[in-house]
């Protein structure tokens, strides 16, 4: 469903977010107090505005009251991020997400009312760590409460074996959500017990991070 987004702080993170939301067909407003940043992004969003998000009148002028989600991507100016969060909440934006660079700053943002707080560097560190230490894990998404959704390239020990034979939920407490064939990656295959895994299979798994790691250790 199409939503209206406001992205504040158009650095590397903010500009990437704006472009990708735009590619997803979403309506995106970009706001930054640096004219150069706005000039670089204005062709990739619905509206690009130079302005200070600490001024609630500026937020009103860009239509912040009518957005579904506001995402604050400021990495350096923490006081500005806090005041911007407060302004957006005063305007009753349904979802306000803010970037934090430390646990302490995240706690402050939550205490003023931010609905979501995210750590770009920490999450990227997790992704890179898994890519290097668990090469069969191609992509991963943290679902919270120690649950993860990962794309797994099965090792040779699993090739030619049916899902019923592998018994991943029973043995490892890991559930296969969907399958893909690398030769036709756009097609999503819903798992059935008689399906077998092969060299060209990618499996979308959901489970506790410890259980997913235990499954990964079989491959060594």
**What is the rounded CA–CA span in Å between residue 112 and residue 90?**
11
- CA–CA gap between residue 37 and residue 9 (Å, rounded): 9
Say what the pLDDT of residue 8 is.
97
Distances (CA, A) of 37 to 70, 135, 196: 18, 36, 50
pLDDT beneath 50, residues of the chain:
125, 127-138, 220
Break the chain into its structural domains and give their ranges: 4-118, 124-217
pLDDT score at 198: 85
Do residues 106 and 50 lie in contact, with contact meaning Cβ atoms separated by under 8 Å? no
Residue 74 near residue 9, CB atoms below 8 Å: yes
Rounded Cα–Cα distance for residues 52 and 164 (Å): 58
- Supply the pTM of this predicted model: 0.62
Q: Which CATH number fits domain 124-217: 3.30.70.1450, 3.40.50.300, 3.40.50.12780, 3.30.2270.10?
A: 3.30.70.1450
Could you report the per-residue pLDDT of 107-137, keeping only the tens digit for each?
999 999 999 988 765 555 454 444 444 444 4
Measure CA 85 to chain center.
20
- On the question of a common fold for 4-118 and 124-217, the answer reads no
User: What digits encode the pLDDT tens for the residues 5-19?
Assistant: 999 999 888 898 899
Question: Which pLDDT belongs to residue 146?
Answer: 64
Determine the pLDDT at residue 144: 59
**CA 127/CA 35 separation, integer angstroms:** 33
> In the chain, what percentage of residues exceed pLDDT 90?
39
Domain 4-118 fold is Rossmann fold (3.40.50)
């Amino acid at each position: 469903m199409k939503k209206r987004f406001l992205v504040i702080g158009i650095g590397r993170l903010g500009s990437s977010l704006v472009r990708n939301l735009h590619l997803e067909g979403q309506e995106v407003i970009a706001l930054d107090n640096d004219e150069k940043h706005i000039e670089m992004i204005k062709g990739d969003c619905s509206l690009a505005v130079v302005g200070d998000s600490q001024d609630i009148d500026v937020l009103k002028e860009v239509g912040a009251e009518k957005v579904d989600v506001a995402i604050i991507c400021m990495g350096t100016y923490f006081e500005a991020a806090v005041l911007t969060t407060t302004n957006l909440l005063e305007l009753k934006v349904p979802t306000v997400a803010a970037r934090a660079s430390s646990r302490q700053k995240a706690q402050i943002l939550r205490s003023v009312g931010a609905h979501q707080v995210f750590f770009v560097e920490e999450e990227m560190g997790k992704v890179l760590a898994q890519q290097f230490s668990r090469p069969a894990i191609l992509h991963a998404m943290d679902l919270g409460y120690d649950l993860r959704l990962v794309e797994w390239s099965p090792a040779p020990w699993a090739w030619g074996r049916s899902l019923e034979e592998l018994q991943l939920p029973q043995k490892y407490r890991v559930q296969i959500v969907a399958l893909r064939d690398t030769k036709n990656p756009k097609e999503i295959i819903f798992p059935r017990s008689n399906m077998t895994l092969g060299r060209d299979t990618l499996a979308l798994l959901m489970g506790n991070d410890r259980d997913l790691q235990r499954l990964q250790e079989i491959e060594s």
